[in-house]
Amino acid sequence: MPDAALDLLHAEMRACRRCLDAGYAIVPGAVFSGPVTARVMVVGQAPGVTESQVGRPFNASSGRRLFQWLGQAGWDEAAFRATQYMTAITKCFPGKASGGKGDRVPTPAEQALCAPFLERELALVQPEVVIPVGGLAVKRLLGAGRLSDVVGGVYEVDGRWIVPLPHPSGASLWLNRPKNRAQVQQALAQLAHLRQRFSL
Ligand code: SF4
């Protein structure tokens, strides 16, 4: 269902050059997807290069793992992409990390420049369940820190259910530990429960 306010926000995000204007070497072109009727919102860190090229969140290998996880919770990828909302803390590809491994983590200044967009997305879509993916998004949505302390739990914040997940990219070493992988399984069980309870 089209929504004029969300369409306007999307147009603003696509046209945004705030980070470039502030001197950050991002690749402009905000990446996000989903309708105003979405009841679940996935919030990642920032799009990668292939996401930026094709304009689709979690398009490549990190998407494969994320949708394997969401599949365990009972969601079909195509249906999820069509009906739920996917976005990020910063919405443009930040470029590769200087060390060559993985993508550059957006600076606090870039995060602050982009923050009003996420606030507006949340206000317009009003998701019942938010899935922050990766440490940056978890910190923003939960205000708390370490993945090891929060993954596996479900938290009620501002009337929404927050279910944190680690970042599914291969650059994340957090998933190497069996204890952490067990926490992810707990988180997926929480999501499956919420999906059934609220018919999401
Ligand atoms: S990351 Fe966000 S604030 Fe920065 S240019 Fe892209 S849309 Fe604008």
Which one, of 97, 141, 145, lies nearest residue 121 by Cα?
Answer: 141
Give the mutation target among 9, 12, 21, 26 for probing the ligand 1 site: most ligand atoms within 8 A of CB: 26
Per-residue pLDDT of the chain (200 residues; tens, 9 = 90+): 569 999 999 999 999 999 999 999 999 999 999 999 999 999 999 999 999 999 999 998 889 999 999 999 999 999 999 999 999 999 999 998 887 678 899 999 999 999 999 999 999 999 999 999 999 999 999 987 789 999 999 999 999 999 999 998 866 788 889 999 999 999 999 999 999 999 99
CA of 154 relative to ligand 1 center, distance in Å: 29
Long-range contacts (CB closer than 8 Å, 24 or more residues apart) made by 62-66 = 62/167, 62/168, 62/169, 62/170, 63/168, 64/168, 65/168, 65/169, 66/42, 66/133, 66/165, 66/168
**Residue 101 pLDDT:** 74
> Closest residue (by CA) to atom 2 of ligand 1?
114
Q: What are the domain boundaries of the chain?
A: 4-197
Task: Report the distance separating Cα 71 and Cα 65, nearest Å.
Answer: 10
Tell me the pTM: 0.96
Token digits of residue 126: 């009003």
Distance from C-alpha of 33 to C-alpha of 47, rounded to nearest angstrom: 12
Domain 4-197 has CATH 3.50.50.60: no
Q: What is the pLDDT of residue 93?
A: 96
- The residue written with tokens 């993954």 in the block is 151
The closest of 156, 118, 160, 155 to 140, measured between CA atoms, is 118
Q: Provide the pLDDT for residue 173.
A: 83
Identify which of 113, 117, 119 to mutate to test ligand 1's pocket (most ligand atoms within 8 A of the CB).
113
pLDDT on residue 127: 98
- For ligand 1, atom 3: residue with the closest CA: 114
| Pocket flag, ligand 1, residue 133 (CB < 6 Å) | no
Q: What is the pLDDT of residue 94?
A: 95
Q: How many beta carbons lie within 10 A of that of residue 61, not counting itself?
A: 14
What are the start-end ranges of the E strands in 45-132?
A: 85-88, 129-132
The β-bridge partners of 71 are: none
pLDDT at 98: 83
Residue 2: its pLDDT value, please?
66
